[in-house]
Structure 1
Amino acid sequence: MPDQLSELLTQNIALIVLAIVIFLAVTSAVKIVPQSQKFVVERFGRLRSVLGPGINFIFPFLDRVAHRISILERQLPTNSQDAITSDNVLVQVDSSVFYRIIEPEKTVYRIRDIDAAIATTVAGIVRSEIGAMELDQVQSNRAQLISRIREALANVVDDWGIEVTRAEILDVNLDQATRAAMLQQLNAERARRAQVTEAEGKRRAVELAADGELYAAEQLAKAKRVLADAEAYSTTALAAAIRDGGLEAAQYQVAIKQVEALTAVGQGQGKQTVIVPAAALDAFADAFGMLRGGKGGGA
């Protein structure tokens, strides 16, 4: 009876041990990887495989999960470094980098401190890129500078199994002396622009005045030309009248003008005495006679 109990106890213990072993084997063989992680599996200290999200199976007791790597996007702390532009201006650049791990086996076995390595690499690239640009270009072409830094950084970190998603230049600071010099330059530039604007305004005013005088001269010349044409036409008409009607027609026209002139003199306002020379009276008489003769001839 005691032998049977002992044998039964031994069998129970063996079953319990077997159950524990099976449980441990299943537990170590089945690995559930979260969506945001990847597992690096080693066998006897050597890389075996990389497990992706979901249910995965490994060889129990031989394989082990050596590293659990997050594949979420990471942001490095803001890094500040000094740089000198091509026109010898010292600037302090604040930069930040965003990256994510895409090949954990490279990140684990090729670099010890990935964050420090990226920060050092970014500092070197920023100094190199800013050293090839002038200060005005750094301030105005920041997007181009960021693009060049991102491309250079992507080429360097490719062996580390990461992807640089963003690289940002947060700020470009200048020392106090440089700020004061730039402020003086800005004020001088504003004063120069104001002087240029004033000079251009005066020049425009002179141009407009000259244009006005030229326009007046052109109009006066046109008026004189019209008068000259009218006089020429009158002379031509008189010559034609002399040619067609003879000298009497010309004298008739002159007589009419004399009569009109004497009539205008007699129409003055107020009481006045008009002294007319004898020659004028004779001319008036001749004109009157010619007028009567002209009327009679017409009759």
Structure 2
Amino acid sequence: MEESIVLGVAVVIFAVLIISKGVKIVSQADLYVIERLGKFHKELDGGFHIIIPIIDKVRAVLTSREQLVDIEKQAVITKDNVNISIDGIVFCKVEDASMATYNVMNFKYAIANLAMTTLRAEIGAMVLDDTLSNRETLNAKLQSELGSAATNWGIKVTRVEIADISVPPSIEKAMNMQMEAEREKRAIQTKAEAQKEAQIREAEAFKQSEILKAEAIERMADAKKYEQEKIAAGQQEAINLINEAMMKNEKAAEFLLAKDRVAAFKALAESSSTNKMILPYDVTQMIGSTSVLGDAFFKGISDTKVNNA
């Protein structure tokens, strides 16, 4: 009886162990590679799964998250024979767990070594200045080369970044001197361009000023000409009107003369000068007649004396 109880407990324990071996709960970011009798069977992703114990087993556990592969610092020679040190980082993720398990021993190690050899080849085809200034181009080339090779391993290379490029101290000093010389050259060129631009703008301003002056003189001359033409036209119109009035009325001229005399006497009367004397028109006529008679009388006397002599 006791032996049967022990046997039953052993069977239960064995059954529990078998069941526990057959139940697999896979995390969301993990990938399980399952082999059946030593051959790839299937790939398990996140969730609850059941496999056949003993017959099926987990060959590898991978992650579907993005991973970093470090490119160790190494010495490379550029196209212009400059020895530099360079390192970087490769970002990748597993897309096919079975290929990453069976097509390569260690995909991280393989990617790191492939990145180092590819980096040497790319740097060897570039001069130092291009290497330092065209990191984006270098990153793109490395990603393309690594991506095509990693596809056979079920790996996707998402990004490649060159972390650091170190040059020898002597080369760095020479580069600093060259950069300083280039800055001075650009400063001189910028100053010369500024002076040239200033002179051009000054000449353009003077030109515009002279053009505006000439236009102003021309407009003033046109205005003066227009004014004189209008004045002449007004005078001509006035003369025509006076002529028409005189033809219609003989006393129109006397009216105009009288009007002018009245205006003149008014201006004379309003003057503050004390050296003036105003006489009626009739008196002035009489004075004028008297002066004419006097001149004639004295002229006759002088002629008589001449004849007697």
TM range (shorter): 0.5 to 0.7
Q: SS of 1:31's equivalent?
A: strand
2:151 corresponds in structure 1 to: 158
Paired letter, 1:170: A
Paired letter, 1:30: V
1:80 corresponds in structure 2 to: 73
Q: SS of 1:64's equivalent?
A: strand
Distance change in 2, residues 1:66/1:201 (3 Å): closer
Paired letter, 1:26: I
User: Do structure 1's residue 42 and structure 2's residue 35 form an aligned pair?
Assistant: yes
Q: SS of 1:76's equivalent?
A: strand
How big is the shift at 1:144?
2.5
Give the TM-score of the pair, scaled to structure 1: 0.61
Distance 1:70 1:215 in 2: 75
2:98 corresponds in structure 1 to: 105
How big is the shift at 1:99?
1.7
Distance 1:212 1:108 in 2: 78
Instruction: Work out the percentage of aligned pairs sharing the same amino acid.
Output: 31
* Alignment root-mean-square deviation, CA: 3.3
Deviations 1:101-147 (A, max 9, x none): 22222222222232221111111222222333333333333222212
The answer as to whether partners of 2:30 and 2:64 remain within 8 angstroms in 1 is: yes
Distance change in 2, residues 1:203/1:28 (3 Å): closer
What is the correspondence of 1:1-299 to structure 2 with a 5 Å cutoff?
A: 8-200=1-193
How big is the shift at 1:42?
2.1
Paired letter, 2:44: L
Q: SS of 1:77's equivalent?
A: strand
Distance 2:26 2:208 in 1: 90
Range with greater deviation from structure 2 (25-34 or 84-93): 84-93
Paired letter, 1:194: A
How big is the shift at 1:207?
6.0
Distance 2:42 2:207 in 1: 92
The answer as to whether partners of 2:71 and 2:115 remain within 8 angstroms in 1 is: no
Structure 1, unaligned runs of 5 or more: 1-7, 223-299
Distance change in 2, residues 1:199/1:32 (3 Å): closer
How big is the shift at 1:83?
2.8
Distance 1:131 1:86 in 2: 5
For the pair shown, which has the larger CA radius of gyration, 1 or 2? 2
How big is the shift at 1:41?
1.9
Distance change in 2, residues 1:77/1:10 (3 Å): same
Distance change in 2, residues 1:205/1:74 (3 Å): closer
Range with greater deviation from structure 2 (148-157 or 205-214): 205-214
1:228 corresponds in structure 2 to: none
Distance 2:202 2:21 in 1: 98
